[in-house]
Amino acid sequence: MTKYVYLFKEGNANMRNLLGGKGANLAEMTNLGMPVPQGFTITTEACTRYYEDGKSIGADIQEQIDAALCKIEEINGKKFGDAKTPLLVSVRSGARASMPGMMDTILNLGLNDEVAAGLIAGNPDPKFERFVFDSYRRFIQMFSDVVMEIPKKTFEVIIDEIKEKKGVANDIDLDVNDMKELVARFKAYYKEQKGEDFPTDPKVQLMEAVKAVFRSWDNPRAIYYRRMNDIPSDWGTAVNVQPMVFGNLNDRSGTGVAFTRDPATGEKKLFGEYLINAQGEDVVAGIRTPSKIAQLEQDMPEVYAQFKTIAENLEKHYRDMQDMEYTIENGKLYMLQTRNGKRTAAAAIKIAVDLVNEGMITTDEAVLKVEPKQLDALLHPQFNAAALKKAKEIAVGLAASPGAACGMIYFTAEEAVAAAKTGKKVVLVRQETSPEDIEGMNHSQGILTARGGMTSHAAVVARGMGTCCVAGCNTLRVDEEKKTATFGDLVLHEGDWMSLDGSTGKVYAEAIETEDASVSGDFATLMGWADAARKLQVRTNADNPRDTAQAVKFGAQGIGLCRTEHMFFEGERIAAMREMILSETEEQRRTALAKILPYQKGDFKAMYKALEGRPMTVRYLDPPLHEFLPAKSMTAEIESIAKELGVSVEKINAKIDELHEFNPMMGFRGCRLAVQYPEIAEMQTRAVIEAAIEVKQEDGYDIHPEIMIPLVGAVKELAYVKKVVVDTANKVMEEKGVQLDVKIGTMIEIPRAAITADEIAKEAEFFSFGTYDLTQMTFGFSRDDAGKFLPAYYDRKIYESDPFAKLDQEGVGKLVQMAAKLGRETRPDIKLGICGEHGGDPASVMFCHKVGLNYVSCSPFRVPIARLAAAHAAILEKQGQL
């Protein structure tokens, strides 16, 4: 028979999956002889059974709960529902992974009129009667809210009525009779709402509470939290039933939380809060302001000393900073919880490095103690905390690219650039951005858009640049002509101040001071340990010298993806690009391309120099050509282009029509451009090779150009373009009298390329998995459109995470694995990498390590994250845990 219920003394810390984190640690503390009120844990498997059995608790589980209850009655010398020595219990959730505040808790369970009377009879303290009725009314309120879904605040109305009647302001001013009245009125209100009496049988109360905790696993905020934190929905929660101890019994009682080190800075000192004569919920409710834990040292030095010893022992035992809950009942200390404490990124790094220096953990363990995602916070400017506290947000959008920004608002890229050039700090506000805005985005502190999701143009480009971005701010209306941004009644004009928090999505209509994040010496130490551990190389996605230099500073080992099209948008380049698009003959196209060549070559040279000899993979022109022309509705823009290029407006409009596509994502783009117009690939090859040769000659770097053909679906397609590239490269090398080792590879971003990777590897010397497009094609949804229906998928638990943010290992990942295997069969030494934002997602990096890729490539600001995630993967593999 499956064991679904464990006494605390039957478990230990390794049973976290079964007992949940809280249950496993209560068991561990019991085993360590620490003062823990002895209760039992109902396992996570019981929760899974509960859902499988149509939300009911099986008879076998019921029996085990009853038996465990008998045992803890015996251990504690109290009896559930007994009028003389009644046992009261707390019922708390506790999942495998900590989900603080997401699920439900019920305290003081086991109370009814008789039990209350019995408790009072057993304690002569005159204040005790008020305490009992206070606990009783709290229990009714909590039980009704959590179990019966009668909102807690509807009870608060009754409390307010009584306070008003008495003319007092605080709960604490209510006396024992008021509490008795509250209990009576709460019960009456319950009956009114539910049509039946408040349950008096403590066993009924208990089972309802257990079910309510199981149910709370599936409440919307828990689901949301799980999605944000990649916690599978089938884990379930355990339930901990524990005898109550009362911090609100008297002034020799209290409750608090404490950390063994400062969770904000990592400083080694006992850090925490303490509230005399209170229950845990008072701390949470914020009715009273807790004291620092130092107060406990003054109030009850012997208790403080005992707690300090326990805290030190727990940290040594768990070899990590602990976050503890404790209660003191009438001068006696009880431990209610311990867990590895959550901490800021800075604290995480300091603690990890300190623990190594203290000889408590190894460097590998230290690396594992820092969550890769956390590093993000260390790499971007932040608001001054004090200034932020005073600010008031006017809207919230999607936290699309982290960091803080403050500047004056401008509504077009041109105006933003112009303002920035006069030395102003600029925030660019757009309906949505397009590739033409790139220069404006580049000159802005932050970007705000009204439309678009986490994977919109603005979001993707901003993350790539490391620029703060809030996207998809629904309440924002942008009027580009009038130059206004409207949020409800609030109208902002060009030049008004705005601040954006790209980490929370908040928007402020005021200037808030920002601070550059500082990277402490510990950070470098930890990253050094990570680099020593990891096997995956980490490259960056960059297409300009600034980003390249930034990425190198962040430890990038080269460029994995240089998107050449971004080079075509600025200034005179786009004019030449448009001239090429409007060409009618190959000769005209070549003339236009010849104008682009020097720019492209110059960019490559600058990037090769910034890389100081590190490798660079150059992806050839990829986007549909219509992206280089304005929309047809932009008549002024079209007229100005017509004038500039000396062609008719009609011709431009005809070309825009011609380039119109029903599904541009699946249209004339990628290598299809080079198949149609090989002269583009010729020009790009000349630029790459000439740049490499000149930098080799000027700086002595030994450059091995890597040329990547995008969107290949068939080997013959690659072979055709490859021939153009090879012929051109050979010609250029002959002209210059310099030989280079040129490698030609392809993106694997079309399902057919993955499926036929054995064929494609006959031509490709490397594969770079473009998992973004591969995700789109494999799922059959476009990232631009999926935002409309994915919310319903999350609601219905069809998808648990955004496949564009976290690689879908079962589907897309299977294609990646297949392609890696097929590719290696054909060409054992083929170089395999991943580019696109998945390369900076820790879980996806782990996957890349598992599949045996050679490198990941991600935006500059994700390079440290990827380095750390790669180290995690290597260490976990070494430990047999991957």
Amino acid identity, position 92: R
Instruction: Kindly state whether residue 352 participates in binding its own copies, applying the rule CB under 8 A.
Output: no
Q: Which residues contact 431 (CB under 8 A, 6 or more apart)?
A: 449, 450, 451, 478, 480
Instruction: Kindly state whether residue 519 participates in binding its own copies, applying the rule CB under 8 A.
Output: no
Q: How far is the CB of 505 from its own copies (least distance, A)?
A: 22
Instruction: Kindly state whether residue 543 participates in binding its own copies, applying the rule CB under 8 A.
Output: no
Instruction: Kindly state whether residue 778 participates in binding its own copies, applying the rule CB under 8 A.
Output: yes
Q: How far is the CB of 652 from its own copies (least distance, A)?
A: 18
Catalytic, 406? Answer no
Q: Is 350 exposed, middle or buried (0-12, 13-18, 19+ CB in 10 A)?
A: buried
Q: How far is the CB of 733 from its own copies (least distance, A)?
A: 22
Q: Which stretch binds its own copies (CB under 8 A): 290-298, 441-449, 634-642, 805-813?
A: 805-813
Half-sphere exposure of 865 (CA within 13 A, CB side): 27
Instruction: Kindly state whether residue 435 participates in binding its own copies, applying the rule CB under 8 A.
Output: no
Q: Which helix (H) or strand (E) holds 74?
A: helix 59-76
Q: Which stretch binds its own copies (CB under 8 A): 38-46, 204-212, 303-311, 714-722?
A: 714-722
Q: What are phi and psi of 499, to 5 degrees?
A: -125, 145
Instruction: Kindly state whether residue 794 participates in binding its own copies, applying the rule CB under 8 A.
Output: no
Instruction: Kindly state whether residue 777 participates in binding its own copies, applying the rule CB under 8 A.
Output: yes
Q: Which residue has the tokens 């007992």?
A: 19
Q: Which residue has the tokens 């990425």?
A: 551
Q: Contacts with its own copies in 14-33 (CB under 8 A)?
A: none
Q: Which helix (H) or strand (E) holds 383?
A: strand 382-383
Vertex 413, ends 410 and 414: CA angle to 5°? 95
Q: Which stretch binds its own copies (CB under 8 A): 274-282, 514-522, 564-572, 715-723?
A: 715-723
Kindly tell me which residue out of 675, 805, 843, 882 binds its own copies, with binding defined by CB under 8 A: 675
Half-sphere exposure of 255 (CA within 13 A, CB side): 20
Q: Which stretch binds its own copies (CB under 8 A): 55-63, 152-160, 245-253, 792-800?
A: 792-800
Instruction: Kindly state whether residue 779 participates in binding its own copies, applying the rule CB under 8 A.
Output: yes
Contact assessment for residue 735 and residue 689, using Cβ atoms and an 8 Å cutoff: no
Q: Which stretch binds its own copies (CB under 8 A): 57-65, 108-116, 582-590, 777-785?
A: 777-785
Instruction: Kindly state whether residue 661 participates in binding its own copies, applying the rule CB under 8 A.
Output: yes
Contact assessment for residue 427 and residue 542, using Cβ atoms and an 8 Å cutoff: no
Size of the site for its own copies (CB under 8 A): 49
Closer residue to its own copies in complex, CB, 165/651 = 651
Instruction: Kindly state whether residue 382 participates in binding its own copies, applying the rule CB under 8 A.
Output: no
Instruction: Encode burial over 600-636: b for 16+ CB neighbours within 10 A, e otherwise.
Output: bbebbbbbbbbbeebbbbbbbbbbbbbbbbbeeeeee
| CA–CA distance, 92 with 260 (Å, rounded to integer) | 24
Q: How far is the CB of 561 from its own copies (least distance, A)?
A: 18
Q: Contacts with its own copies in 682-711 (CB under 8 A)?
A: 711
Contact code string over 173-202 relative to its own copies, x by CB under 8 A? ------------------------------
Kindly tell me which residue out of 92, 605, 626, 672 binds its own copies, with binding defined by CB under 8 A: 672
Q: Which residues contact 671 (CB under 8 A, 6 or more apart)?
A: 620, 709, 710, 711, 712, 717, 718, 721
Contact code string over 727-766 relative to its own copies, x by CB under 8 A? ----------------------xxxx--xx--x-------
Vertex 252, ends 249 and 254: CA angle to 5°? 65
Catalytic, 835? Answer yes
Closer residue to its own copies in complex, CB, 61/400 = 400
Closer residue to its own copies in complex, CB, 678/860 = 678
User: How many residues can be counted in the chain?
Assistant: 882
Instruction: Kindly state whether residue 821 participates in binding its own copies, applying the rule CB under 8 A.
Output: no
Q: Which residue has the tokens 């936290």?
A: 399
Kindly tell me which residue out of 585, 633, 663, 881 binds its own copies, with binding defined by CB under 8 A: 663
3-state secondary structure of 502: coil
Q: How far is the CB of 714 from its own copies (least distance, A)?
A: 6
Q: What are phi and psi of 486, to 5 degrees?
A: -110, 130
Instruction: Kindly state whether residue 716 participates in binding its own copies, applying the rule CB under 8 A.
Output: yes
Q: Which token pair is 500?
A: 């954006």
Q: How far is the CB of 584 from its own copies (least distance, A)?
A: 16
Instruction: Kindly state whether residue 666 participates in binding its own copies, applying the rule CB under 8 A.
Output: yes
| CA–CA distance, 323 with 320 (Å, rounded to integer) | 10
Q: What share of the chain is helix, strand, coil (3-state, %, to 5)?
A: 50, 15, 30
| CA–CA distance, 334 with 265 (Å, rounded to integer) | 28
Kindly tell me which residue out of 195, 780, 828, 880 binds its own copies, with binding defined by CB under 8 A: 780
CB neighbourhood size of 570 (10 A): 16
Among residues 835, 838, 848, 872, the one annotated as catalytic is 835
Amino acid identity, position 454: M
Q: How far is the CB of 847 from its own copies (least distance, A)?
A: 15
The number of helices, as runs of H, and strands, as runs of E, in the chain is 35, 33
| CA–CA distance, 880 with 130 (Å, rounded to integer) | 56
Instruction: Kindly state whether residue 593 participates in binding its own copies, applying the rule CB under 8 A.
Output: no
Q: Which residues contact 55 (CB under 8 A, 6 or more apart)?
A: 211, 214, 215
| CA–CA distance, 745 with 542 (Å, rounded to integer) | 18
CB neighbourhood size of 313 (10 A): 15
Instruction: Kindly state whether residue 635 participates in binding its own copies, applying the rule CB under 8 A.
Output: no
The candidate with the shortest Cα–Cα distance to 378, out of 560, 557, 554, is 554
Q: Which stretch binds its own copies (CB under 8 A): 211-219, 380-388, 631-639, 791-799?
A: 791-799
Q: How far is the CB of 673 from its own copies (least distance, A)?
A: 8
| CA–CA distance, 258 with 274 (Å, rounded to integer) | 8
| CA–CA distance, 749 with 324 (Å, rounded to integer) | 48
Closer residue to its own copies in complex, CB, 275/786 = 786
What is the DSSP secondary structure assignment for residue 341, as one 8-state letter?
A: P
Q: How far is the CB of 671 from its own copies (least distance, A)?
A: 10
Instruction: Kindly state whether residue 814 participates in binding its own copies, applying the rule CB under 8 A.
Output: yes
Instruction: Kindly state whether residue 810 participates in binding its own copies, applying the rule CB under 8 A.
Output: yes
Instruction: Kindly state whether residue 665 participates in binding its own copies, applying the rule CB under 8 A.
Output: yes
Instruction: Kindly state whether residue 434 participates in binding its own copies, applying the rule CB under 8 A.
Output: no
Instruction: Kindly state whether residue 860 participates in binding its own copies, applying the rule CB under 8 A.
Output: no
Closer residue to its own copies in complex, CB, 149/661 = 661
| CA–CA distance, 234 with 803 (Å, rounded to integer) | 19
Closer residue to its own copies in complex, CB, 656/675 = 675
Instruction: Kindly state whether residue 781 participates in binding its own copies, applying the rule CB under 8 A.
Output: yes
Kindly tell me which residue out of 75, 714, 843, 876 binds its own copies, with binding defined by CB under 8 A: 714
Kindly tell me which residue out of 480, 793, 821, 852 binds its own copies, with binding defined by CB under 8 A: 793
Q: Which stretch binds its own copies (CB under 8 A): 314-322, 475-483, 644-652, 775-783?
A: 775-783
Among residues 380, 457, 566, 838, the one annotated as catalytic is 457
Instruction: Kindly state whether residue 662 participates in binding its own copies, applying the rule CB under 8 A.
Output: yes
Instruction: Kindly state whether residue 792 participates in binding its own copies, applying the rule CB under 8 A.
Output: yes
Instruction: Kindly state whether residue 89 participates in binding its own copies, applying the rule CB under 8 A.
Output: no
Instruction: Kindly state whether residue 815 participates in binding its own copies, applying the rule CB under 8 A.
Output: yes
CB neighbourhood size of 295 (10 A): 17
| CA–CA distance, 478 with 458 (Å, rounded to integer) | 15
- The residues binding its own copies (CB under 8 A) are 661-668, 672, 675-676, 711, 713-714, 716-717, 720, 749-752, 755-756, 759, 773, 776-782, 784-786, 788-789, 792-793, 796-799, 808, 810-812, 814-815
Catalytic (active-site) positions: 457, 835
